Amino acid sequence: LVGSEMCIRDRAKEDISEDGYWGVKQTSSRIFDFAMALAGDDEEKMQKMKAAVEKGFKLATKSWGKELPDISKNTYSAVMDKFDDYFASKKTSTDTE
């Protein structure tokens, strides 16, 4: 049992590591990609998706009853960065057209 507990713990650490499936990079990419899929690269809809993500994290924090764990806060920041990069790229492409 001790050996299997170590395997589970090791697997969990790997899963939430920087490059793990539940880590900040992959999770923030999945959230952003989902928003993109729903919005269809429509800037107005992407603004709504960004607002929905913000609301979701606020609700999660409220449900948690205290500040979210660092991995959650870092994931939120990474998702917001992806939205910011998306909107910045749209301004650049609009400015050059």
**How far apart, in whole angstroms, are the C-alpha atoms of residue 71 and residue 76?**
9
In this prediction the pTM is 0.83
| Residue pair 21/74 in contact by the 8 Å Cβ criterion | no
The predicted pLDDT at position 95 comes to 58
| Residue pair 39/86 in contact by the 8 Å Cβ criterion | no
Tokens of 5: 């507990």
Could you report how far apart the first and last alpha carbons of the chain are, in Å? 63
In the block, tokens 């107005």 appear at 44
| Residue pair 19/13 in contact by the 8 Å Cβ criterion | no
Distance from the Cα of residue 29 to its chain's centroid: 6
Each residue's pLDDT expressed in tens, for the chain with a length of 97 residues:
455 666 888 888 888 888 899 999 999 999 999 999 999 989 999 999 999 999 999 999 999 999 999 999 999 999 999 999 999 999 876 555 5
